[in-house]
Structures are given as structure tokens and as C-alpha cells.
């Protein structure tokens, strides 16, 4: 799964990586402990215009009567995304990319505790998770936009720690993923694969990441390099 991630990069890096200019009215800052149910930055494309916008992490399908469903839908399994009613329509036409610089996973220790690890892409300070978004309205017409991060089976770098990982898109696939006119879901689903393990690195980090209110660059420091 993907339950926590970090984004440690400047606005210019986002613009360069995803090939668009960020609206200056969008307030963006680096974060090191992004958790479910928080607002997270996402790149979307509407009428061929690419934008960075904030969505609540935890997808609420447009047909849902219960907002709490979003707490359970922080991730969508890529293998079954075309089968699940919660994700099927969003996959066809409401795709987005969540910028990240790394993510966390936890490994059980012999003592029973869980040791957090930070995973990153070597030589790539910024990358994009494949994600979906939804628009939900209450009875008064008030709107809520939410999103979910897509996961796939773990690559060899992740397997010792966890059996799932977020889908990290290849840069050359961003345009196809964001294209509203791309409706061939079978072809799009082929993009939902594990990132090459040889291009990824990881290390142990502080258990302080377990506390959602803690947000500091120290969270992504290598625990064994001190």
C-alpha cells in the first residue's frame, strides 16, 4: 500500500518534471509526512490545460452516501481497478498524478515492532504516483474533491519490507495518463506496473514518522548515517 509519503522539492522542479506552469495563487510547500485524509497536491489536466490543485487524500465516489468511505479508499489496486465500482469510472476519465520525492513503508522486526523505511528513486528528486480523483456533492451542492493513489505488486526493492508499492509512472507516460481523451483502459492499465527495482534505493528512518503531526526534514534522514 501507500500510506505516507514526502515531497521535498521546489515549485520550479514540479513545473519542469510535469511540463506546465503553476498558478502563482497556489500555495505550495515541502512536506515530509503526508498522511491520508490530508489535502495533497495533484496534477490534473482539463481541456488540455494542466494544473496543480489540492485534493483530499481518500477517494469518495460520487455516488457514495457516506464520507467516511474515503478513509478506506486511500489506495486502489491497479490489478482490479477496472472491476471495482469505487474506481471504475474515475479510471476512465478522472486520472491525476501526485508528485512525490519518496514514500514510507514499514517492516516488522523480530521484536514485533515496525521499522519505517524511506524509499526513493535514484537520481530523480521528483516523480509522480498514478492516482484517480473524484468530485462528490452533498445535498446542498457543496463540493468535495478527493483522490486515491494506485498501487501494484512490490518490486524486488520493496519485497523485503512490504508486498505492495505505489505505482510510479515513467516520465514519458505522464501525457498519456493525464489525457482526458485516452479511454483505452486496457492500455492504460499496462502503465500500472512496478517501478524498476534497480533504479530505487531505501534506508531506515526515525519512527517519528508514525506521528502524523510531525513534519520535519529529519524524517527523511538515514537513521544509520548518524
For residue 50 the three cell numbers come to 494542466
Establish whether 30 is a catalytic residue. Answer: no
**From 17, 105, 134, 145, the catalytic residue:** 105
Integer Cα distance of 153 and 98 in angstroms: 19
Using the 8-state DSSP alphabet, how is residue 23 labeled?
A: P
The answer to whether 157 and 199 are in contact (CB under 8 A) is no
Distance of CA 85 to the CA centre of its chain: 20
Establish whether 186 is a catalytic residue. Answer: no
Sign of the dihedral through C-alpha 164, 170, 176, 177: positive
Integer Cα distance of 105 and 103 in angstroms: 7
Residues in CB range of 124: below 8 A, 6 or more apart: 199
Residues that are catalytic? 2, 105
Amino acid at each position: 500500500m501507500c500510506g505516507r509519503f514526502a515531497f521535498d522539492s521546489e515549485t520550479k522542479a514540479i513545473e519542469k518534471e510535469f511540463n506546465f506552469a503553476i498558478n502563482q495563487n497556489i500555495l505550495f510547500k515541502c512536506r515530509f509526512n503526508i498522511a491520508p485524509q490530508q489535502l495533497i497536491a495533484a496534477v490534473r489536466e482539463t481541456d488540455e490545460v494542466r494544473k496543480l490543485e489540492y485534493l483530499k487524500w481518500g477517494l469518495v465516489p460520487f455516488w457514495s452516501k457516506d464520507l467516511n468511505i474515503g478513509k478506506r479508499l486511500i489506495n486502489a489496486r491497479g490489478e482490479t481497478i477496472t472491476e471495482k465500482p469505487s474506481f471504475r469510472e474515475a479510471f476512465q476519465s478522472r486520472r491525476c498524478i501526485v508528485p512525490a520525492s519518496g514514500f514510507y513503508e514499514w517492516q516488522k522486526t523480530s521484536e514485533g515492532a515496525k521499522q519505517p523505511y524511506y524509499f526513493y528513486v535514484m537520481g530523480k528528486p521528483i516523480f509522480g504516483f498514478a492516482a484517480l480523483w473524484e468530485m462528490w456533492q452533498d445535498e446542498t451542492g457543496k463540493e468535495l474533491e478527493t483522490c486515491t493513489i494506485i498501487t501494484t505488486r512490490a518490486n524486488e526493492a520493496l519485497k523485503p519490507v512490504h508486498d505492495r508499492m505505489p505505482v510510479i509512472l515513467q516520465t514519458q507516460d505522464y501525457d498519456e495518463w493525464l489525457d482526458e481523451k485516452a479511454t483505452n483502459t486496457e492500455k492504460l492499465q499496462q502503465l500500472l506496473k512496478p517501478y524498476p527495482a534497480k533504479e530505487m534505493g531505501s534506508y531506515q528512518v526515525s519512527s517519528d514518522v508514525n506521528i502524523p503531526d510531525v513534519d520535519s526534514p529529519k524524517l527523511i534522514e538515514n537513521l544509520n548515517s548518524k
